[in-house]
Amino acid sequence: MKVSSISAYPVLDSRGMWTVEVSLMLQNGVRAAASAPQGKSTGAAEMRALPAAAAVKSVANIVAPRIVHKDFRNQAELDEFLVRLDGTKNRARIGANTMLAVSIAFLRAMARTKKAALWKHVRDEYGLWVDPTAKALRPRLFMNVVNGGLHAENGLHFQEYMIIPKSRTFAESVEVGAKIYHALGSALAKAKGRGAANLGDEGGFAPAFRNDLEPFLMIRAAARKMKLEKKIDLGLDAAATDIKGMSRRQLKNFYKKLIKGFKPLYIEDPFGENDFKSFAAMRAEYLGNGMGAGAPGVRSALWIAGDDLTTTNTDRMAVAQAKGSVNAVIVKPNQIGTVTEALNAVRMARAYRWAVVVSHRSGETNDDFIADFAYGVAADGLKLGAPARGERIAKYNRLLQIEREAAE
Whose Cβ is closer to ligand PEP: residue 23's or residue 42's? Answer: 42
Binding mask 148-187 for ligand PEP (x = CB under 6 A): ----------------------------------------
- Kind of pairing between the strands at 328-331 and 303-306: parallel
- Kind of pairing between the strands at 31-35 and 18-26: antiparallel
Phi, psi (degrees; rounded to nearest 5) at 33:
-130, 160
In DSSP terms, 300 is beta-bridged to: none
Which distant-in-sequence residues (6+ apart) come within 8 Å of 403 by Cβ?
169, 170, 171
361 binds, among Mg ion, ligand PEP, none (CB under 5 to 8 A by kind): ligand PEP
Is 41 among the residues that bind ligand PEP (CB under 6 A)?
Answer: yes
Whose Cβ is closer to Mg ion: residue 173's or residue 312's? Answer: 312
Write the DSSP symbol of residue 230. Answer: G
Q: At closest approach, how far in Å is the CB of 330 from Mg ion?
A: 6
Which of these, 85, 52, 49, 93, lies nearest to 67 by C-alpha position? 85
Distance CA 138, CA 389 (A): 24
Distance CA 221, CA 217 (A): 6
3-state helix, strand, coil in the chain (%, to 5): 45, 15, 40
Whose Cβ is closer to Mg ion: residue 40's or residue 93's? Answer: 40
Which of these, 104, 146, 116, 136, lies nearest to 20 by C-alpha position? 104
Is 19 among the residues that bind ligand PEP (CB under 6 A)?
Answer: no
334 binds, among Mg ion, ligand PEP, none (CB under 5 to 8 A by kind): none
Q: At closest approach, how far in Å is the CB of 209 from Mg ion?
A: 20
- Catalytic one among 120, 179, 332, 395? 332
Q: At closest approach, how far in Å is the CB of 137 from ligand PEP?
A: 23
SS3 category, 359: strand
Q: Which of 13, 307, 368, 372 binds Mg ion (CB under 5 A)?
A: 307
SS3 category, 164: strand
Phi, psi (degrees; rounded to nearest 5) at 127:
70, 65
368 binds, among Mg ion, ligand PEP, none (CB under 5 to 8 A by kind): none
How would you classify residue 220: left for phi > 0, otherwise alpha for psi between -120 and 50, otherwise beta? alpha
Q: At closest approach, how far in Å is the CB of 332 from Mg ion?
A: 8
Phi, psi (degrees; rounded to nearest 5) at 26:
-85, 165
Is 39 among the residues that bind ligand PEP (CB under 6 A)?
Answer: yes
Is 202 a catalytic site residue? yes
Is 42 among the residues that bind ligand PEP (CB under 6 A)?
Answer: yes
Which of these, 267, 289, 297, 291, lies nearest to 133 by C-alpha position? 297
Distance CA 276, CA 220 (A): 31
Whose Cβ is closer to ligand PEP: residue 72's or residue 181's? Answer: 181
- Kind of pairing between the strands at 328-331 and 18-26: unpaired
Q: CA 298, 240, 183: angle at the middle one, nearest 5?
A: 70
Whose Cβ is closer to ligand PEP: residue 63's or residue 239's? Answer: 239
The CB-nearest residue to ligand PEP is 39
Q: At closest approach, how far in Å is the CB of 14 from ligand PEP?
A: 11
Distance CA 362, CA 151 (A): 7
- Catalytic one among 125, 202, 268, 391? 202
Which 226-265 residues touch Mg ion, going by CB under 5 A?
Answer: 237
Name the one range near ligand PEP by CB under 6 A: 36-44, 72-80, 259-267, 282-290.
36-44
SS3 category, 3: strand
Is 40 among the residues that bind ligand PEP (CB under 6 A)?
Answer: yes
Q: At closest approach, how far in Å is the CB of 283 from Mg ion?
A: 17
Name the one range near ligand PEP by CB under 6 A: 2-10, 34-42, 189-197, 349-357.
34-42
39 binds, among Mg ion, ligand PEP, none (CB under 5 to 8 A by kind): ligand PEP
Q: At closest approach, how far in Å is the CB of 85 from ligand PEP?
A: 26
Is 239 among the residues that bind ligand PEP (CB under 6 A)?
Answer: yes
Which 337-396 residues touch ligand PEP, going by CB under 6 A?
Answer: 359, 361-362
Sites of contact with Mg ion (CB under 5 A): 237, 307
Q: Summarize as ranges the residues that interact with ligand PEP (CB under 6 A).
A: 39-42, 237, 239, 307, 359, 361-362
Residues belonging to the active site? 202, 332
